[in-house]
């Protein structure tokens, strides 16, 4: 799990969902302050329930839109976003908002499903996460056409990040059919 150099670190998780990544980051960086934001209030409530259950004090959740982050310029040392950007109506705008709230030299870690995933890798992924209550062919169709099909390739997202003002972009492979984009301000 990512650990921040220098303390105290201010970390933002955009599209935090049920808070799993934010809470792991908070536990891995006990001196940091982690904020998770999500567009859906239902997710914010679920994240707050998990935070309470896991008794993590250095993490908070709030409702917010990646298109207009409710924070001032340079408010964070690090920003993460996991499997959320494919849902944003304007990813360039979201990445430019992330750049705005990052301090100079700060890094953003953007992870997403790889639209260029091979049929073999997708099959292996769907077999690994097979759920007894979903018909296998339906699950593969959804993964191919909805989850991965509506996502980006690493190259596409890198181009969008450059459009958003990031000149320093590195693409890394992530576990499974996902990629990680590391953007430095």
Ligand X SMILES: C[S@@+](CC[C@H](N)C(=O)[O-])C[C@H]1O[C@@H](n2cnc3c(N)ncnc32)[C@H](O)[C@@H]1O
**Contact footprint for ligand X (CB under 6 A):** 14-17, 20-21, 38-40, 43, 65-67, 82-84, 87-88
Query: Could you tell me if 60 and 36 are in contact, meaning their C-beta atoms sit under 8 angstroms apart?
Result: yes
By beta carbon distance, the residue nearest ligand X is: 17
Contacts within 8 Å (CB) and 24+ apart, 47-56: 47/16, 47/17, 47/18, 47/19, 47/22, 47/23, 48/19, 50/18, 50/19, 50/20, 50/23, 51/19, 51/23, 54/23, 54/27, 56/23, 56/26, 56/27
Quick check: bond before 8 cis, omega within 30?
yes
181 beta partners: 110, 171
Number of residues that this document lists for the chain: 185
CB of 38 to ligand X, least distance (A): 5
Taking the least distance from each CB to ligand X, the nearer of 42 and 120 is: 42
Nearer to ligand X among residue 9 and residue 95 (C-beta):
95
Helix (H, G, I), strand (E, B) or coil at 167: coil
In the complex with ligand X, which residue's Cβ is closer, 84 or 169?
Answer: 84
In DSSP terms, which residues pair with 82 in a beta bridge? 111
By beta-carbon proximity to ligand X, the closer residue of 130 and 150 is 150
Q: How far is the CB of 17 from ligand X (least distance, A)?
A: 2
Looking at the Cβ atoms of 43 and 126, the one nearer to ligand X is 43
Question: Least distance to ligand X from the beta carbon of 100, Å?
Answer: 15
* Least distance CB 13 / ligand X (angstroms): 7
∠ CA 61-104-69, rounded to 5°: 30
Q: Shortest gap between Cβ of 39 and ligand X (angstroms)? A: 4
């Amino acid at each position: 799990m990512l650990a921040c150099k220098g303390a105290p670190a201010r970390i933002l998780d955009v599209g935090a969902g049920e808070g799993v990544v934010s809470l792991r980051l908070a536990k891995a960086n006990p001196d940091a302050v982690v904020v998770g934001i999500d567009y859906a209030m239902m997710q914010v409530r679920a994240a707050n329930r998990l935070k309470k259950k896991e008794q993590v004090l250095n993490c908070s959740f709030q409702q917010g839109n990646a298109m207009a982050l409710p924070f001032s310029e340079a408010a964070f040392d690090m920003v993460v976003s996991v499997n959320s950007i494919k849902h944003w109506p304007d990813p360039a705008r979201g990445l430019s908002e992330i750049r705005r709230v990052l301090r100079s030299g700060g890094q953003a870690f953007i992870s997403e499903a790889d639209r260029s995933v091979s049929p073999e890798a997708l099959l292996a992924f769907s077999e690994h996460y097979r759920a007894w209550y979903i018909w296998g062919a339906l699950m593969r169709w959804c993964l191919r056409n909805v989850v991965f099909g509506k996502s980006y390739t690493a190259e596409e997202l890198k181009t969008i990040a450059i459009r958003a003002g990031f000149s320093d972009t590195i693409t890394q492979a992530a576990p499974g059919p996902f990629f990680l984009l590391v953007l430095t301000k």
